[in-house]
Amino acid sequence: MTNPTPTPKLNDRIALITGGSRGLGKSTAIALAKRGTDVVITFKSAEDEARKVVAEIQALGRKAVALRLDASDSSTYAAFAEALEGALKKTFGRGTFDALVNNAGTAGYSLFPQTTEALFDELYKVHLKAPYFLTQRLLPVLADGGTIVNISSGLARFSFPGSSAYATMKGGLEVMTRYLAKELGPRGINVNTFAPGAIETDFGGGHVRDDKTLNAQIASQTALGRVGLPEDIGPAIANLLAPENHWINGQRIEASGGMIL
């Protein structure tokens, strides 16, 4: 039996986080930098915010790059992979990276009878097709012994009216995670799902954060008695990416404070 592929030391690692200019992606990027990991983040249109995240990471003594990516457009993946390879060599002096966090996403709320094909297709392209085919495209530059974390949602376990299409995509993503863990295992790559519960961010227009009635309702259904914050999530994802957790594989890990137990 061959020895497992060794993973780089924590301060030698590079993580790629899609949708890293705000919210949970930003929180994860900062948490990783604090743990000594260099970071590549992507953004779709919020270039100024992405640059601020890069500056914050650099202030922590780590290297960082922000690259534009429209996760909903698979025709751009080849060009993105090329840009990533160039950034890896120029900024980090390497040809590979070690950890991929498929985080980019968009909200979409509609009761089942009113859900349109256009909304369904939009959510599909971002939340299921993108993690599948972007990951596939990036496999040649993901190092052996690396790590993939796919960001799902508590809504794949519990149900709130208006999120059927969104949750359906996340359910598919969780199945995909198990298959990737199985198929990428020979390369020493571990793959897990991380599922946040309700979090106070600007996601979906910030309705969990700003709607006090909704916020209180969710808090009353959560064992720890409050709604989650980005600071509850980013460090937890960063911890899951750590080399010492490499034996965790093919799992769904929920961080919801004990929501609807």
Strand order in the sheet with 142-151: 64-68, 38-43, 14-17, 97-102, 142-151, 190-196, 252-255
Dihedral angle of Cα 9, 10, 16, 21, to the nearest 10 degrees = -160
Which phi-psi region, left, alpha or beta, contains residue 35 (left: φ > 0; alpha: ψ -120 to 50)?
Answer: alpha
DSSP codes, 142-195 = EEEEEEEEEE--GGGTS--TT-HHHHHHHHHHHHHHHHHHHHHGGGT-EEEEEE
Enzyme catalytic residues: 152-153, 166, 170
